[in-house]
């Protein structure tokens, strides 16, 4: 069964498995002890730190291992903010950061501190100038991911790092998605990553803090990992994480080129094979293994279940998943279609034949889900004899209250042909996804989104027919 969700967690790399098994026999003792078993564990831990630091591009004494990438981010943010409290307390983040960063930002703001969120363009990248403009004199820390976990879009880290350097603000980079493919551009002050993203074992993160960065670890003091990651080190897992990072880096150039070609095929073929699809993310400045697209008139959760039944493991940032009824914060920030969202992230070693079979299966799966939901064929009927202009702009109201995506958009598509050109359709909806999906539908179907207003219940979204 093809596994296409490496961006969530990559399969354990063979080198990681071998290193883990060996380290379980040699690295089980306390590395802080001076007897031979402890010394042996300490040698393994030190070697792993040196290997990871080389891959990151920092000194070994600047890097600590944490219980997860999320913990690395939380510790990095809280420590940097505390260390810079005499300078200011403003935190600057991009709107598409991983939820671990945004949760830290929300907690910081709830405690009464200012947080500035920098928006992104439709491709999902911040503009370096916008980020630089957000760096106020009271800024204590800025956070920017190296590449997005949902779309693969790469961020202008080098340009933002230069702006942060000029402003005297440390930059924390979340490199979880990109570290397997190469080092982050120079200029960062703190960096966090997670081993299970590159084929290491879960439960291992890393945090690098450059010398000279003011940093005050939060929480009770601990003598391990420079006081930045308290608790007993999982030496076997750390050894496996470092070994697998070195291994994937050695394979990155060749495997990245191969996966990029497969992803390019998906990006090109999906809109040709499936009508009413929007491929999101930057087509050029992106990681080699991730592609994300959204399908009109499709329930994302059902689509993922049907692909799973067909033998493909993929993920979604859609609003219509069992875990949430709100759109992905990444898709919302980008202003793109959220319904029927599919993220394909190919692990190393993905066979070309599996991608070809995915492209064969996908059109039938999408068509069956659309048929089950009663979606209109071809995007909705348009009356052939409609006048060029309507004298009084006749209006139609669709009550989609209580109905979840993609039903409000399906109902809109069904009735748009019933009003003449210039006429309007107003959709009443209490589903947050409609705020993204109705304007996105207008852009894809050549209609005009005329805006929204508060209704007695929910929101009224008005669409003017142009074609």
Please give the positions annotated as active site.
320
Kindly calculate the radius of gyration of the chain based on its CA atoms and give it in whole angstroms: 25
Q: How many CA atoms lie within 13 A of 356 on its CB side?
A: 3
306 burial via Cβ count (<10 Å: 0-12, 13-18, 19+): buried
The number of CA neighbours under 13 Å toward the Cβ of 392 is 3
Asked if residue 417 lies in contact with residue 319, where contact means CB atoms within 8 angstroms, the answer is no
Q: What is the β-pairing status of strands 139-145 and 171-174?
A: parallel
**Is the link from the previous residue into 203 a cis peptide, with omega within 30 of 0?**
no
Structure tokens that stand for 259 in this block? 């996966």
Phi, psi of 184 (to 5 degrees): -75, 140
Packing angle between helix 14-26 and helix 36-56, nearest 10 degrees? 150
What does residue 349 show for φ and ψ, rounded to 5 degrees? 90, 0
Element (H, E) at 82: helix 69-83
Q: Which residues contact 216 (CB under 8 A, 6 or more apart)?
A: 79, 82, 83
Task: Count other Cβ atoms within 10 Å, centred on residue 442.
Answer: 21
Residues 462 and 424 sit within 8 Å (Cβ to Cβ): yes
């Amino acid at each position: 069964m093809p596994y296409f969700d490496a961006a969530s967690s990559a399969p354990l790399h063979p080198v990681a498995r071998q290193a883990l098994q060996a380290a379980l026999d040699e690295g089980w003792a306390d590395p802080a002890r001076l007897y031979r078993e402890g010394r042996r564990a300490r040698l393994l831990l030190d070697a792993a730190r040196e290997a990871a630091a080389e891959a990151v591009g920092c000194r070994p004494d600047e890097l600590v291992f944490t219980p997860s990438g999320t913990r690395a981010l939380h510790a990095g943010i809280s420590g940097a903010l505390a260390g810079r409290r005499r300078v200011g307390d403003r935190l600057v983040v991009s709107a598409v950061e991983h939820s671990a960063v945004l949760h830290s930002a929300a907690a910081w703001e709830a405690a009464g501190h200012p947080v500035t969120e920098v928006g992104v363009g439709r491709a999902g990248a911040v503009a370096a100038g916008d980020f630089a403009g957000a760096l106020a004199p009271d800024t204590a820390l800025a956070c920017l991911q190296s590449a997005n976990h949902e779309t693969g879009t790469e961020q202008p880290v080098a340009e933002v790092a230069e702006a942060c350097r000029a402003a005297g603000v440390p930059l924390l980079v979340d490199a979880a998605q990109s570290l397997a493919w190469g080092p982050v551009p120079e200029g960062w002050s703190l960096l966090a990553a997670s081993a299970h993203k590159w084929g290491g074992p879960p439960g291992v993160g890393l945090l690098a803090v450059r010398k000279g960065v003011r940093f005050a670890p939060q929480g009770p003091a601990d003598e391990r990992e420079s006081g930045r990651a308290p608790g007993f080190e999982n030496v076997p897992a750390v050894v496996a994480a470092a070994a697998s990072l070195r291994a994937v880096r050695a394979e990155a150039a060749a495997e990245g080129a191969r996966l990029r070609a497969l992803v390019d095929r998906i990006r090109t073929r999906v809109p040709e094979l499936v009508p009413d699809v929007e491929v999101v993310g930057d087509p050029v400045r992106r990681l080699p293994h991730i592609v994300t697209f959204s399908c009109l008139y499709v329930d994302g959760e059902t689509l993922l279940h049907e692909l799973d039944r067909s033998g493909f493991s993929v993920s979604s940032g859609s609003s219509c998943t069992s875990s949430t009824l709100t759109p992905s914060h990444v898709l919302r920030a980008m202003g793109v279609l959220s319904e029927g969202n599919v993220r394909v992230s190919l692990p190393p070693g993905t066979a070309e034949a599996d991608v070809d079979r995915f492209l064969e299966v996908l059109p039938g799966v999408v068509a069956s889900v659309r048929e089950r939901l009663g979606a209109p064929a071809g995007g909705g009927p348009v009356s052939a004899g409609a006048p060029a202009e309507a004298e009084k702009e006749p209006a139609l109201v669709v009550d989609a209250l209580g109905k979840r995506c993609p039903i409000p958009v399906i109902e809109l598509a069904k009735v748009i042909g019933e009003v003449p050109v210039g006429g309007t359709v107003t959709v009443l909806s209490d589903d947050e996804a409609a705020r993204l999906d109705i304007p996105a539908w207008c852009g894809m179907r050549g209609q005009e989104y005329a805006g929204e207003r508060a209704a007695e219940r929910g929101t009224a979204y008005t669409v003017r027919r142009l074609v």
